[in-house]
Structure 1
Amino acid sequence: MSDDGIAIKLNAEKEILNSQMLKFFIFIKVIGNNISFPMCSVELRRHWSKFENFHMMSLGMNWILCSFKSEEAMDEVLNDGPWYVGGYIVGIDKWSSSFNPNSFKCITAPMWIPLPCFPLYCWDEENIARISSRIGVPMFIDGNSLRWGKWEFARVCIRLNLENSLPNGVWIDGIARRFFHLVEYEKIDLLCFHCGKVGPDKKVCTEVKKVDKAEKMSNKQDLVINIPENKNSDQE
């Protein structure tokens, strides 16, 4: 912004034209550290080999922009998954003018969540879907979860909004009792255990800043300043 605070007015017609050109574009973010663009390009092209004529380009800050020739191909990529690169989950969303490379706003990812030691009287498709809907949008359940002899844990794929804090469990009210059940998240490398969100650096996490500020205030209160006493010189 200039010193006088005057904003530049953009050409609205050009903005609309550019937006129309971007209507089959998606943003991609691999939720992992040090994943190079060439590696992302190779693995995603392998995953999406049935779609022809799509193009990927690096936007910096580990963001990738991918264009498709048809809305059908784009929607299938958005609604399918989970997608992985190097074992890390891929966050993905349709292009929007509100895109901010410093934020995960509107970025979602299909993700598997295991529910270990799941109570057997909750073990059916409807109740598993109800429980997982507290965390995200249920997509489908691992077929092994509903088979006899495969009941070590339930496993369901849900679509998560990566901007939201991810709970470490959910409260369940069943016929026997009300209890808290832990939830696990598969292949998330950048989950902040302070704020529960994906991606934030510890240096910029708001919850870490609150704790650091509280500790500094506490240290200031505990600090004792020792002022040496004035000693009168001996008089003869």
Structure 2
Amino acid sequence: MEISSENISEPVMPTATPQSPSNQELPERSSKKTKRRRSELGTTSPIGSVSQVQDTPAENELLSPASAQWKTPDATPNQAWGRKDFNSTAYRDVDSDEESMDEEALDPCNPVIPITEEEKERIRRPWRKSLICKVLGRKVSYFYLLQRLQRMWKPESVFELIALDQDYFIAKFESLRDYEFAKYEGPWVILDHYLVVQEWEPNFDPSCNKTKKLLVWVRFPTLPVEYFEGKFVRKISRRVGRPVRVDFTTSLISKGMFARVCVEIDISKPLLSKFTLEEKVWPIEYEGIHLICFSCGLYGHR
């Protein structure tokens, strides 16, 4: 009985049985295999992932865009920086325009007056049927020139004569026929001097204008009458300038003292004083042009 009481009073401690190394590694291997399987199931099975999301609504609310903890920014960093660059570029453009306007207005003594295309059309329209005139090489009074032009042109309607600087005038017509007659039926001679007639042009400045083209009568004195034939006279005239028309008496050969042709010449270039035909030199004369230096061929001095 004593032996049994001792066995009951003293607790029996379990003794650890020694395990072989293979038995110790067995639980570790089994646990690793189970973890690997779960991970493989989570990655390879999308159906399982969907079921997990459906089984956990709290996590779904936490990650959903509608939840309060998930907030979408108004603009991504790239969009925000791009918007900032665009605005800064626009501001730079506005600033550059304002700076250019400020630069133009830097000189208060010389302001720049802007003009639109509509304004140009409005203020230039009344001057379309106008001619710029000047008596070449001679100064004439306003009233004398007006009387002479009325006698030469014989206009159907009234035209205005406006005096400009540097002895220039503007003839402003109401009738298109009068305008074309004065423009194309020249050359016109006043006091044995040519009247230069040219189209009106915008921004005409008399102090800077230089007459280049001029319609003149050219004579070929002592030319034999057999050469008065129209085509051949024009052939000679092309050496002088651009032939416009042959004089009526020359075409009829009613007068054999000289052949006469209206030619457009460039008085800024040397003018011819002679030509050679059949091994003989023949002279050239210009009606109404008095200031020609035939040593250099230029108009303006002797």
Please state if 1:123 is matched with 2:223.
no
Q: Which secondary structure does the structure 2 equivalent of 1:39 belong to?
A: helix
2:209 corresponds to: 103
Contact 1:30 1:85 in 2 (8 A): yes
Contact 1:31 1:190 in 2 (8 A): no
Contact 1:99 1:105 in 2 (8 A): no
Unaligned stretches of 5+ residues in structure 1: 203-207, 209-236
| 1:44 CA displacement | 0.7
Q: How many residues were matched structurally? A: 195
1:43 corresponds to: 148
1:157 corresponds to: 262
| 1:129 CA displacement | 0.9
Fraction of identical pairs, as percent: 23
Q: Which secondary structure does the structure 1 equivalent of 2:183 belong to?
A: helix
| 1:167 CA displacement | 2.3
The structure-2 alpha-carbon separation of the partners of 1:118 and 1:98, relative to structure 1 and needing over 3 Å to count, comes to farther
1:59 corresponds to: 164
Identify, as 1 or 2, the structure richer in helix. Answer: 2
One-letter code aligned to 1:68: F
Larger Rg belongs to: 2
Report the Cα distance in structure 1 between the residues aligned to 2:281 and 2:247, rounded to whole angstroms.
22
Unaligned stretches of 5+ residues in structure 2: 1-104
TM-score for the superposition, normalised by structure 2: 0.55
Q: Which secondary structure does the structure 2 equivalent of 1:113 belong to?
A: strand
Listed as ranges, the matches of 1:63-78 within 5 Å are 63-78=168-183
Q: CA RMSD in A?
A: 3.2
1:189 corresponds to: 290
2:238 corresponds to: 133
Q: Which secondary structure does the structure 1 equivalent of 2:286 belong to?
A: coil
Report the Cα distance in structure 2 between the residues aligned to 1:143 and 1:113, rounded to whole angstroms.
14
Contact 1:142 1:156 in 2 (8 A): yes
1:8 corresponds to: 112
| 1:41 CA displacement | 1.3
Contact 2:214 2:265 in 1 (8 A): yes
TM-score for the superposition, normalised by structure 1: 0.69
Write out per-residue CA displacement over residues 103-157 of structure 1, whole angstroms, 9 at most, x where no aligned residue.
3346533x21110121455331101011112223323223333456732221112
1:88 corresponds to: 193
Identify, as 1 or 2, the structure richer in strand. Answer: 1
